[in-house]
Amino acid sequence: MTLTILFACLSGLAMTVLFALCPALSFWWRLPIFLGFYVAIALLYIAILFVSFLLLPKADPSPHTRSVCHRWIELTLSWIFVMIGYKVTVEGTDKLPNTPYLLVGNHRSAFDPLCTEAALEDHDIAFVCKPSVMKIPIIGRVLTKLRFLAIDRDNARNAVTTIKRAAELITDVGLSVGIYPEGTRSKDGNLLPFHAGSFKIAKLANCPVAVATIRYEKRGLLPWNKRVSIRIVDVMDVDFVTNNNTAALAERTEQTIREDLGL
């Protein structure tokens, strides 16, 4: 919303200056000129954003650099969601631990991590995602700065390394980590089989596990308008994580998500 207001104000200012310099312009040109300035300012902002991330070194960012990147991306995401008609709401944040945790949930869309990042803006979360996502030009660099990790489930050694690194983000860096135990998106809304190995992160980090559900509902007349609802439905404390194996953690998580989604 902040960027939406800022871009609108800059567009209005530019339009005012233009009409002061060219008083002969018709009143009916005001709206298309305003929209033109808005698009131009937005494109300039995106270009500056991308160039800034391209100039950042590939090495792991410092806490300050990551914090700046995190807030900048959250601000941009909020603006993007306004533009595409996504309304993101979240419930149950009062259940979330005050210490770093593992966040797990159902996986419905490629937008899931972005919506969750925007909804939980006060929680610093790095997600585990597919290697192909990290290879997207510019986007991959942005995600690297946000400490996102790629996991190749077809490569056992790579998967184990990623799980250990995710646990280190929780214990050594103080970040929470998000992962989708289904491993890929469910296109029909039903849950796919859970990978119990995802919960090794919590076992290694000795941290709580927060369980979330996400829903997408169409809103308005435009096909891309969505109402995105995120709900924190359960938190498994450290004692429960310590005293149960990954299969039990996966079973409780899946059952909780099924009950909340009515599956």
> What CATH number has the domain bearing residue 250?
3.40.1130.10
112 and 176 share one domain: yes
Domain assignment present for residue 77? The answer is no
d(Cα 23, Cα 122) in Å, to the nearest integer? 47
Residue appearing with tokens 């390394």: 161
Q: What pLDDT shows up at residue 74?
A: 76
Domain assignment present for residue 63? The answer is no
189 and 234 share one domain: yes
168 and 243 share one domain: yes
Domain assignment present for residue 79? The answer is no
Domain assignment present for residue 64? The answer is no
Average pLDDT over residues 125-152: 78
Domain assignment present for residue 61? The answer is no
- Sheet with 176-179, side-by-side order of all strands: 86-91, 226-236, 209-218, 102-105, 176-179, 125-129, 149-150
Per DSSP bridges, beta strands 209-218 and 226-236 are antiparallel
Question: pLDDT for 26-75, tens place per residue?
Answer: 777 778 888 888 888 888 888 887 787 777 766 666 677 777 777 777 78
226 and 134 share one domain: yes
Residue pair 111/214 in contact (Cβ under 8 Å)? The answer is: no
Please tell me the total count of domains within the chain.
Answer: 2
Question: pLDDT for 162-202, tens place per residue?
Answer: 899 999 999 988 899 999 998 888 877 788 889 898 999 99
91 and 26 share one domain: no
Domain assignment present for residue 129? The answer is yes
Question: pLDDT for 242-256, tens place per residue?
Answer: 999 999 999 999 999
Q: What pLDDT shows up at residue 55?
A: 74
- CB-CB neighbours of 84 under 10 Å: 12
Residue 10 belongs to what domain range? 2-49
Domain assignment present for residue 229? The answer is yes
d(Cα 34, Cα 28) in Å, to the nearest integer? 11
Is 222 a residue whose pLDDT tops 70? Answer: no
Average pLDDT over residues 233-240: 96
Q: What pLDDT shows up at residue 80?
A: 80
